[in-house]
């Protein structure tokens, strides 16, 4: 049984316009890095799994699905940031389908973990509209597939620099998916991902947001993971962990200003993998979201792949050198979560 599986497809390169931040060169840089690495054998570019309309409808409205499908082979502007070219709809259907394929492989026990190298990304896509470079919400669709296969508790961890508003919306009233998101405060979408956004109804207490200040850096991210996320994950005991792995919090990324390093992303991946080994037998899948400096995107992704492919237990580096502002923010997030859970109980 292969330990790890990396899925992507050449059709994902057929989406996008030149000079747009989310362009094909992002994925090309990653694929080149993998081809030149010891992990070349883990990469499968041959899987042509397309998401079905039924699978899409578990997250998106039929009106929206029909609209996107009607634009197959055409060029269009879906919003001020999100564009279709002739290959975009096929790429979006493939991206969502590859995420589902990884979920099916891990639920069947064929793999321990995996990385879906997808574009267009997905975590901003809402029920009825595209947003922020995203057409279909790949990770939310994959989570729904996992639920349909019998899983009862899924964790989605989102460390993209932007708030995963579409994913949050998908499960805001659903206790079967615990959505945890750390992001740059008030970046995009503005006024989204606030501390007080903690879920509703049955989902109260199953959304957790940590809006971090500019230039937070590695230590803040690792402290937040250890002090805030880890205890709640241990309590929740998910059966599968899905990671919205955006790398636009990198210090060299043009769209964020969070000062995270490639080694910082490695440490986050190590923590996520160690947590998966503790709560769900190591079942963890990464989904590519943002990251707009191709060189450092590829470098960061390779750090994560190295962590996933290793059969050894991660050796974590403690890093709690944070100021009072971060500690207070983490405490406020804990209080918001506890208050929300109290309302639900």
Q: Where are the domains of the chain?
A: 4-344
Three-state DSSP state, 304? helix
The residue annotated as part of the active site, out of 9, 15, 123, 124, is 124
Q: Which fold has domain 4-344?
A: 3.40.800
pLDDT at 318 over 80: no
Identify which of 321, 318, 209 has the alpha carbon closest to the alpha carbon of residue 274: 318
Of the chain, the percentage scoring pLDDT greater than 90 comes to 94
Q: What is the pLDDT of residues 149-208, one digit of tens each?
A: 999 999 999 999 999 999 999 999 999 999 999 999 999 999 999 999 999 999 999 999
E-strand stretches of the chain = 4-7, 43-44, 76-77, 83-84, 113-116, 154-158, 177-184, 207-212, 240-245, 284-288
Say whether pTM exceeds 0.95: yes
Identify which of 313, 223, 206 has the alpha carbon closest to the alpha carbon of residue 260: 223
Mean pLDDT score across all residues of the chain:
96
Q: What angle do CA 116, 86, 125 make, to 5 degrees?
A: 45
Q: Are 160 and 244 in contact (CB under 8 A)?
A: yes
20 assigned to active site: no
Three-state DSSP state, 9? coil
pLDDT band at 274 (very low <50, low <70, confident <90, very high): very high
Q: What is the pLDDT of residues 237-249, one digit of tens each?
A: 999 999 999 999 9
Q: Would you state the pLDDT for residue 2?
A: 67
Q: Would you state the pLDDT for residue 342?
A: 82
Tell me the CA end-to-end span of the chain in Å, nearest whole number.
Answer: 42
pLDDT at 1 over 70: no
177-184 and 154-158 beta bridge pairing: parallel
Q: Would you state the pLDDT for residue 345?
A: 43
């Amino acid at each position: 049984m292969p330990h790890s599986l990396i899925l992507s497809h050449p059709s994902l390169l057929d989406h996008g316009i030149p000079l747009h931040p989310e362009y094909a060169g992002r994925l090309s840089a990653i694929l080149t890095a993998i081809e030149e690495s010891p992990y070349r054998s883990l990469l499968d570019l041959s899987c042509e799994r397309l998401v079905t309309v039924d699978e899409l409808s578990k997250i998106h409205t039929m009106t929206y699905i029909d609209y996107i499908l009607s634009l197959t082979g055409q060029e269009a502007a879906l919003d001020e940031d999100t564009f279709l070219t002739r290959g975009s709809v096929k790429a979006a259907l493939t991206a969502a389908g590859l995420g589902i394929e990884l979920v099916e492989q891990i639920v069947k026990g064929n793999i321990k973990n995996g990385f879906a190298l997808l574009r267009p990304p997905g975590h901003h896509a809402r029920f009825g509209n595209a947003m922020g470079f995203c057409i279909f919400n790949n990770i939310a669709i994959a989570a729904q597939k996992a639920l349909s296969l019998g899983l009862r508790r899924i964790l989605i961890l989102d460390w993209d620099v932007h708030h995963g508003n579409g994913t949050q919306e998908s499960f805001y009233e659903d206790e079967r998916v615990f959505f945890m998101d750390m992001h740059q405060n008030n970046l995009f979408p503005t006024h989204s991902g606030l501390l007080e956004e903690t879920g509703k109804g049955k989902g109260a207490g199953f959304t957790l947001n940590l809006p971090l200040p500019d230039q937070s850096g590695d230590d803040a991210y690792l402290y937040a993971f250890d002090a805030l996320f880890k205890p709640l994950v241990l309590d929740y005991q998910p059966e599968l962990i899905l990671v919205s792995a955006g790398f636009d919090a990198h210090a060299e990324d043009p769209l964020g200003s969070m000062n995270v390093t490639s080694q910082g992303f490695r440490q986050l991946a190590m923590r996520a993998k160690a947590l998966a080994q503790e709560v769900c037998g190591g079942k963890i899948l990464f989904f590519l979201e943002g990251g707009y400096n191709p060189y450092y995107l590829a470098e960061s992704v390779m750090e994560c792949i190295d962590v996933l492919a290793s059969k050894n237990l991660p050796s974590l580096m403690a890093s709690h050198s944070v100021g009072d502002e971060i500690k207070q923010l983490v405490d406020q997030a804990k209080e918001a979560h506890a208050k929300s859970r109290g309302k639900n109980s």
